[in-house]
Structure 1
C-alpha cells in the first residue's frame, strides 16, 4: 500500500490502519535479536544481564529456537517462578530436552549461585505469556510480578528441590513423545523433582500408559480429571488411582460407553452397570461433576450417585 501525504483526497483511515499494522521493533528488541544470534556472547552475558530482561530474552529465545541459550538461562534464572504460558503449544521435543538439561545443571550444582532462585517451573498453558514471579516484588514492565500461589493438598507437601507443574494430556490412548520424555526424566530424578499435575485427561484407556503416569505423578495433587472415550468396566482399573485423588475438585465423564472394550457389542445390563459404578470411591473434595454423552445414566443419575 502506498500512502501519499500530499494528496488531500486520500482517506485518512488508510494511514491509521497502516500505523496500527506496522510496529517497528524497538532498539531493545533489535539489541536482543543481535545478542541471540551470537550464542557464546549471549551465554557469557547472562551473569551481568539485568533481571528485568530475563523474561523478554527467554521468550525471544524460546520463539526462535535458540535452545543452547535456553539451556544456559535455566541455571541462572533470577526468579522463583517460570511459566511458559501459551508458548507451551510451540514447545517441541528438542526445546523440552534443552530446558530439562538446564534443570539438570541446576540440580547438579553443589553450591547454588546467588543469582538463581528458581523453585517452580510451570509447563501449563494457563497463563497468556511467559512470565516470572518474584517474591521480592520487583517490577517487570510486561510481566506479572507477584509470586504465583500454588495450593497443594496436605499430601503434596513433599520437600523437593524443584517443582514442575504440568498438564498431562492423553491422545488416543497413548502419551505423546514430549510427555513420555518428561515423565521418564522426572521419574529418574524423583528425589529432587516433584511433578505436580493439576489436570489429567485420559482419552482412550491404555493401562500401560496410566501406570507410567502414576509412577511419577502424585495422584493426590490432581485437581481436575477428564475421562473420555473409555468403557464403563474399565473404571474398575482406575479405582485404586481414584481413591488416591484426595484433592479432586472437578470430574468430567465424556463419552463413557457401556460396552466391553474387547470389541463385544453386547450392552451391559443395568444391574452390572450399577455394580460397576457403585465400586467408585467417594470423592469428598469433589465440587463439580460434568457428564456428557453417557447414555446409560440418562434419567438415573441420582440412583448412581447415591
Structure 2
C-alpha cells in the first residue's frame, strides 16, 4: 500500500533551519557564509519571519540586486518589509557583520529577469499599490535628491506603482505609504525608481506630493485616469512640470478626463526627448491638437486619439506636423471624420504612408463613398499590417471593393471589417440591431473566397460581432 510522504528535508535545509534557530548565531555567521548560500538562507529567513536575520542579511548582501517580488504571494508582514528598509539604512553602521554589502538595487518590479546570482535573487512580481498620500509630519521636508549622508552610494528601490484614489479599493498594506516616507526622510540615501506609473483618481495636489519623492528620470510609462470635475490649475501646471522632467518617458496615456483641459499645459512637455507613444482619450481635445503636440520636439511613433472630437484643423495640423513622417500606429476611432473626405484625412494618410503599420478607423461615421475616396492613399501604405474600420455603415459590395484593393498590400495581415448594411438594421452610425447571423456568415465566406482567388489566404478577417 502506497503512503503519502513529504520529501525529506535536504542537509542544506536542515542546516539552514538549525542556523536560524539562534538568530544571534545566524547574524554572526554571515561574516563567513559562502556567497552561494545567501539566497537559500534569505528565503528561509523571510519564510520563517526572522526579522533580525533579514535586516543583517541586507546589511551584508553580496550581490548587486535583491529582488523580493515573490514575497507578494506569501504571508509577508510589514515588519519583514520594514526590516529590509532598516537594513538598507543601517548598512554603513553595521558592526555585527563587518562584511561589506554590495547591494545597489532593491527590486519589486513585475517582470525582472536575471541571468545568475551575481545579479540578483528572486524573480516574481510584487508591484506596490498606493491608496493614500504621505502622512503629515512635523519635521521639515528634505528632498530625496539632496546629498546622501551615508558613506556609500544610495540604494535604488525599483517598483511599478499603481496610485489609487483616496477612496480606492486596493488596500494591500501600509507598506507603500511607509516606504515613501522612508525614502523621503532618507536625505537621498534611498531613491525610489518607478518605471511604470499608473494613476487612477488621484487628486493632482496629492499626486504632485508623491511625484516629489520619485526619481522622475527613471519613469518610462505614465497612465493617467482622472474623472474628477474639479482641480486647481496651479496643481495641474505643477503636475505637468513634473511630467516634463521625466526625461526617459516613452509612453503617456491620458484617459477619461472630462473637465475643460487646458491644452497649453502640454507646452511643459517640450523637454521630453524619448516620448514615442501618446494615448489621448477624452473629448476636450477638440481643436487643440496643435497646442498639445506642438511642444514635442521629436516625432511620435504611436498616436491614439479616441473620442477626442477631432476637427478638420486638428487633422490638417497632424498631416503637416513632424509626427506624420514617423507614425507607425494611428488610432482615430470614435471621431466623426465624415466631413474630412475628400480633404484632410486623405492628405494625412498620404503623409503617413511611408511608415504606417497599424490604422484604426473604427466608428468614424465613414460612408461607402468616403472609404472609396481613401483607397488610393491607403494603397500607398506599403508597410500597413493591420486595418480596423468596423462600425462604419458599408455594404457588402463596398467591403469587397476595399479588400480587393488592399489585397495588393503584402504586409497587411489583419483586417477588421464592419457588419454589412444588408445584415443589420442600423439605428445610427454607431448602433445597430436585428443582426442576421446567417447572412453575415454567408458574406464572411464570400469575402474569404475572394481572398483565396487573390492568393491572400494569409490575411485574417474578423468583423465587429467578434468583438462582442
User: Please, what TM-score do these two structures have when normalized by structure 2?
Assistant: 0.47
Are 1:247 and 2:248 matched, yes or no?
Answer: yes
Number of residue equivalences: 255
SS in 1 for 2:84: helix
Do 2:78 and 2:175's aligned partners in 1 also have CA atoms closer than 8 Å?
Answer: yes
Q: Give 1:227's aligned residue.
A: 224
- Further displaced range: 53-62 or 170-179: 170-179
Do 1:75 and 1:116's aligned partners in 2 also have CA atoms closer than 8 Å?
Answer: yes
Do 2:164 and 2:202's aligned partners in 1 also have CA atoms closer than 8 Å?
Answer: no
Do 1:205 and 1:230's aligned partners in 2 also have CA atoms closer than 8 Å?
Answer: no
Structure ranking higher on relative contact order (CA contacts 8 Å, 6+ apart): 1
Cα distance 1:251–1:42, how it changes in 2: closer, same or farther (>3 A)? same
Cα distance 1:49–1:114, how it changes in 2: closer, same or farther (>3 A)? closer
Q: How is 1:1-306 mapped onto 2 (pairs within 5 angstroms)?
A: 3=2, 23-88=7-72, 90=74, 91-108=76-93, 113-127=98-112, 133-134=117-118, 160-173=153-166, 177-231=174-228, 236=237, 238-254=239-255, 256-259=256-259, 272-273=260-261, 276-280=262-266, 281-282=269-270, 283-290=272-279, 294=282, 297-298=306-307, 300=309, 303=314, 306=318
- Cα separation, 2, equivalents of 1:3 and 1:243: 67
- Cα separation, 2, equivalents of 1:107 and 1:41: 21
- Cα separation, 1, equivalents of 2:200 and 2:14: 44
Do 1:65 and 1:95's aligned partners in 2 also have CA atoms closer than 8 Å?
Answer: yes
Give the structure with the larger helix fraction.
Answer: 1
- Cα separation, 2, equivalents of 1:211 and 1:94: 28
Cα distance, 1:76 vs structure 2: 0.8
Could you list the per-position Cα deviations for residues 3-46 of structure 1 after superposition, in whole angstroms to 9, with x for gaps in the alignment? 38xxxxxxxxxxxxx79xx5443221232223223222222221
SS in 2 for 1:298: coil
User: Please, what TM-score do these two structures have when normalized by structure 1?
Assistant: 0.69
Cα distance, 1:161 vs structure 2: 3.0
Cα distance, 1:124 vs structure 2: 2.5
- Cα separation, 1, equivalents of 2:17 and 2:258: 56
Specify the structure having the higher radius of gyration (Cα).
2
- Further displaced range: 184-193 or 282-291: 282-291
Q: Give 1:263's aligned residue.
A: none
Q: CA RMSD in A?
A: 3.7
Moved over 6 A (4+): none
